[in-house]
Amino acid sequence: MKIPGLPRITGWHPIATTLILAGAMAAFARFNYGLGATTNLSDEFPWGLWIGFDFLGIGLAASGFTIVAAVNLFHAKEYEPIVRPAILTAFIGYLLVVLVLIIDLGRPDHFWHPLVMWNPHSVMCEISWCLMLYTTVLSLEFAPIVLEKLNIVSPIKWIHAISLPLMIFGVLLSTLHQSSFGSLYLIVPNRLHALWYTPLLPVLFFISCIASGISMVILESLIFARGGRDLLPTPLRANLAKIIAVALAVYVVVRVQDLLTRGALRELTALTYYSLAFYAELLIGFVIPFAMLLMERVRTSRRGLYAATLLVVVGFAFNRMNTAITGLEHYPAQTYFPSLIEVFITLGITAVGFSAFSLIVKHLPIFEPMVAGPRPRKEVVTGRPEPIFISREGGDLESR
Amino acid sequence: MSQKKAMLIDLTLCVGCNACQSACKEENRLPPGEEKYLSLTAYTALDKYNDLYVRRMCQHCDVPTCVSVCPVGALSKTEAGPVAYDAEKCIGCRYCLQACPFHVPKYEWSSTKPRIQKCKFCASRLAKGLQPACAEACPTGATQFGDREELLVEAARRINAEPAKFVHRIYGKDDVGGTSMFYLSPVPFEQLGFDSRMGKTPMPMLTMSALSKVPNVLSVGGVLLGGVWWITNRRAKVQAFEASQKKDPTRPPEDKP
Ligand code: SF4
Ligand code: SF4
Ligand code: SF4
């Protein structure tokens, strides 16, 4: 089966079905036998692969808020065509993360407690609130796409009326919880390895999520392009690539400067378990793609951009996994490696995400409007209600 | 009972008889035994370093890290000193296990309705005016229960009386902002598995610097983004207007946005 806009992946259906089935079975085991029997988590290592997955999912779903901010707050209207795919990615990403978080909880039946029992001193509490509120914002940003398809007009107008404060709120919430994932570790200076522990964790988490979020946008647009739907012309992609390069540069400077001031650079002089992990992360995810993106040739070539942004995403994954796992291990005495069940649940949920994405792309107007690049400015009066974030004129957000 | 309670553990007096652990297990209906490390069945454990025995247990910190990280307030610092746990609230996020600087809370991993387990400072006994089971059982007075301030005075008195016998430090007096368990030792604490690099600042302060910025991000950020939108939006409108002017010069100028 070929879905317009997505490249065909041979054998995707059987693979996805297998992964989802295996994941469902693993989840069944996890709920029936408890965390101890099914995971490699322990008192010494209470957080593992799933927390890493959450970091990753949220960081990559940063594509949603960065593009919404760029297009609708900074009026970079030429990026409009990618807004809907980005919102869809973010929406699916957040739903999956919430799902994994609930599976990860020792008492999934108590997942709603943070909503009624507050502890303002807890970063975890702040994150729960941000996640919940931002997922609501995303669902409101996504709703018009569904309503449009169903031809239900009135709620679209209603959502449209609040779209500006909604977007601003969404961007603020993202800023908060993207950095708060870093703040989670501020309280373990005695546990997290000096190469990752720094009071600047929230700042570093935020900067890196911008690089990874925009990289995801580029990757997505390249994948769509392979499927025959080029949403962003090359110069626009090249501009995004410049922003990534800036974010990467800022990140590396802040990170190295911080290591320097904390005297942690000496951890890097010997090749250890930790320093190798650090080098891998910094070189793959930050230094090499930065060097690549400096070149005009890379920024304007599909293949070059593909490689560079993929590196950013992989390096980002390294960084989050290092913070969540490697930095907390006591090599070689106490290490953590996820159990098969942990891995299967994670893969299964990822497969659900990809399948949901292709299903939604197939049935909902994600790629409308079809024209790539800045559309001609003209007063369009169509029977179709104006979709919320596909504003044709700069001013229509406030006029309703 | 308005005074904060505490315990003074004098390692020079401990003979390693394990009476505290046995009494604790009995009090909390745990399977009997002699454990070296804290576990689900040992709220207190007796570690051995050469000829010194060291009791471990929840320190019932004054500004407890576990209480500050718990998203639902399942852990709380009570007036009398004990850090209490409410399993009905707990969601099982295990942030407390991750964050406790003393590695105290243990998790019921094998249960499908898991809870945290740790020393309760015998809160129910304290409420009745009794002392904790472990302190009551201790035959040598190595574990002594009392008012926090009085015990601090007593600890200082012991060090001053026999300065050669102790290292001159009351562990827990102000480590991580002070705890309810004070230790006196004849050898440096680092040799006994105590983490002495944690400083005097309570751990929760590390998070507060980040969390206290939340209202600012919301208010200043909101205004900033609103402003950015207003400016860019106006620019776009002006451009649109100018474009339409070119096409249709008859349009009256007072339409200007
Ligand atoms: S020792 Fe750990 S569990 Fe006990 S009160 Fe302090 S932070 Fe909480
Ligand atoms: S595991 Fe329970 S007690 Fe510990 S921080 Fe999470 S909710 Fe609180
Ligand atoms: S205070 Fe009570 S719960 Fe804590 S170690 Fe002593 S006997 Fe056990």
* Inter-CA distances, A313 with A202, A210, B179, B195, Å: 19, 11, 44, 37
The predicted-structure confidence for B163-220, as pLDDT tens digits, reads as follows: 999 999 999 998 999 999 999 999 999 999 888 778 888 888 888 878 888 888 888 8
B148 and B239 inside one domain = no
pLDDT of residue A389: 45
pLDDT of residue A382: 44
CB A223 within 8 A of CB A6: yes
B138 and B198 inside one domain = yes
What sections of A189-282 are H helices per DSSP? 201-226, 234-261, 273-282
The residue among B161, B183, B204 that closes a domain is B204
End-to-end CA distance of chain B: 71
Could you tell me the CATH number of the domain that includes residue B12? 3.30.70.20
Q: Which atom of ligand 3 is nearest to the CA of B125?
A: 2
CB B38 within 8 A of CB B106: yes
- Number of C-alpha atoms within 13 angstroms, CB side, residue B100? 26
Q: What is the pLDDT confidence band of residue A228, given thresholds at 50, 70 and 90?
A: confident
B119 and B230 inside one domain = no
Q: What is the pLDDT confidence band of residue A339, given thresholds at 50, 70 and 90?
A: very high
pLDDT of residue B253: 53
Q: Among 1.10.3720.10, 3.40.50.2300, 1.20.1630.10, 1.10.3210.50, what is the CATH number of A41-222+229-336?
A: 1.20.1630.10
Query: Which chain A residues are Cβ-neighbours of B232 within 8 angstroms?
Result: 73-75, 394
Determine the 3-state secondary structure of B46 from DSSP.
Answer: strand
Question: Mean pLDDT for chain A?
Answer: 85
Q: Which residue has the higher pLDDT, A101 or A151?
A: A101
* Inter-CA distances, B220 with A140, A172, B214, B226, Å: 24, 10, 10, 10
The interface residues of chain A toward chain B in range 54-83, judged by CB-CB distance below 8 A, are: 69, 72-75, 77
Q: Is the peptide bond before A108 cis (omega within 30 degrees of 0)?
A: no
Considering only A358-362, A369-373, B2-6, which range has the smallest mean pLDDT? Answer: A369-373
Q: Is B206 near chain A, with CB under 8 Å?
A: yes
Of the residues B63, B103, B104, which should be mutated to test ligand 1's pocket, given the most ligand atoms within 8 Å of the CB?
B104
pLDDT of residue A76: 84
* DSSP code string of A282-310: HIIIIIHHHHHHTSHHHHH-HHHHHHHHH
Residue A10: pLDDT over 70: no
Q: What is the pLDDT confidence band of residue A372, given thresholds at 50, 70 and 90?
A: very low
CB atoms under 10 Å from CB of B240, counted, come to: 15
The predicted-structure confidence for A262-300, as pLDDT tens digits, reads as follows: 888 888 888 888 999 999 999 999 999 999 999 988 898
The predicted-structure confidence for B49-85, as pLDDT tens digits, reads as follows: 988 999 999 999 999 999 999 999 999 999 889 999 9
Question: Mean pLDDT for chain B?
Answer: 89
Q: Which residue pairs, CB below 8 angstroms and at least 24 apart, start in A233-240?
A: A233/A372, A233/A373, A234/A300, A234/A302, A235/A300, A236/A78, A236/A79, A236/A373, A237/A299, A237/A305, A238/A296, A238/A299, A238/A300, A238/A305, A240/A79, A240/A214
What is the DSSP secondary structure assignment for residue B177, as one 8-state letter?
G
Cα–Cα distance measured from residue A94 to residue A89, given in angstroms and rounded to the nearest whole number? 9
Q: How many domains does chain B have?
A: 2
Q: What is the pLDDT confidence band of residue A394, given thresholds at 50, 70 and 90?
A: very low
Q: What is the pLDDT confidence band of residue A2, given thresholds at 50, 70 and 90?
A: low
B34 and B73 inside one domain = yes
Model ipTM?
Answer: 0.84
The residue among B161, B180, B204 that closes a domain is B204
Region A48-61: what's the mean pLDDT? Answer: 90
Query: Are residues B211 and A120, on separate chains, in Cβ contact within 8 Å?
Result: yes
The predicted-structure confidence for A64-74, as pLDDT tens digits, reads as follows: 888 888 888 88
pLDDT of residue A383: 44
| Residue-number span of the structural domain to which B224 is assigned | 213-255
Q: Is A393 near chain B, with CB under 8 Å?
A: yes
Residue B115: pLDDT over 50: yes
B198 and B224 inside one domain = no
Q: Which atom of ligand 1 is nearest to the CA of B65?
A: 7
Considering only A220-224, A254-258, A335-339, B1-5, which range has the smallest mean pLDDT? Answer: B1-5
B187 and B236 inside one domain = no
Q: Using CB atoms, which residue from A114, A188, A398 is nearest to B98?
A: A188
Residue B181 belongs to what H/E stretch?
A: strand B181-184
Region A121-127: what's the mean pLDDT? Answer: 90
Residue A369: pLDDT over 60: no
The interface residues of chain B toward chain A in range 13-32, judged by CB-CB distance below 8 A, are: none
CB atoms under 10 Å from CB of A112, counted, come to: 13
Note the pTM of the prediction, 2 decimals.
0.86
Query: Are residues B218 and A172, on separate chains, in Cβ contact within 8 Å?
Result: yes
Q: Using CB atoms, which residue from A35, A113, A398 is nearest to B91?
A: A113
B227 and B131 inside one domain = no
Distance B58 CA to ligand 1 centre (A): 5
Region A131-149: what's the mean pLDDT? Answer: 89
B217 and B198 inside one domain = no
Identify residue B50 by its one-letter amino acid code: N
B13 and B31 inside one domain = yes
Q: Is A34 near chain B, with CB under 8 Å?
A: yes
Calculate what percentage of chain B has a pLDDT beyond 70.
95
Residue B97: pLDDT over 80: yes
CB A285 within 8 A of CB A314: yes
CB A204 within 8 A of CB B254: no
φ/ψ of residue A120, rounded to 5? -60, -10
Cα–Cα distance measured from residue A356 to residue A360, given in angstroms and rounded to the nearest whole number? 6
B107 and B175 inside one domain = yes
pLDDT of residue A376: 41
pLDDT of residue A397: 39
What is the DSSP secondary structure assignment for residue B39, as one 8-state letter?
B
B155 and B76 inside one domain = yes
Cα–Cα distance measured from residue B197 to residue B165, given in angstroms and rounded to the nearest whole number? 23
Cα–Cα distance measured from residue A215 to residue A309, given in angstroms and rounded to the nearest whole number? 5
Query: Are residues B210 and A180, on separate chains, in Cβ contact within 8 Å?
Result: yes
Q: Go through B101-110 and write b for each residue having 16 or more CB atoms within 10 A of its CB, e for each that does not.
A: bbbbbbbbbe
Residue B31: pLDDT over 90: yes
Q: What is the pLDDT confidence band of residue B249, given thresholds at 50, 70 and 90?
A: low
Q: Which atom of ligand 2 is nearest to the CA of B107?
A: 1
The interface residues of chain B toward chain A in range 81-110, judged by CB-CB distance below 8 A, are: 89-95, 97-99, 101, 103, 105-110
Query: Which chain A residues are Cβ-neighbours of B195 within 8 angstroms?
Result: 190
Identify residue B15 by its one-letter amino acid code: V
Q: What is the pLDDT confidence band of residue B12, given thresholds at 50, 70 and 90?
A: very high
Contacts for A359 with CB less than 8 Å, ≥ 6 apart: none
pLDDT of residue B256: 46
Nearest to B55 by CA among B93, B96, B99, B102: B102
Residue A345: pLDDT over 70: yes
- Number of C-alpha atoms within 13 angstroms, CB side, residue B90? 24
SS3 letters for A334-378? ECCCCCHHHHHHHHHHHHHHHHHHHHHHHHCCCCCCCCCCCCCCC
CB A192 within 8 A of CB A185: yes
Query: Which ligand places an atom closest to the C-alpha of B96?
Result: 2
B100 and B83 inside one domain = yes
Q: Go through A155-175 and write b for each residue having 16 or more CB atoms within 10 A of its CB, e for each that does not.
A: ebeebbeebbebbbbbbbbbb
Nearest to A65 by CA among A165, A162, A168: A168
φ/ψ of residue B73, rounded to 5? 70, 30
Q: Which residue has the higher pLDDT, A391 or A54?
A: A54
Region A319-336: what's the mean pLDDT? Answer: 86
The predicted-structure confidence for A237-249, as pLDDT tens digits, reads as follows: 899 999 999 999 9
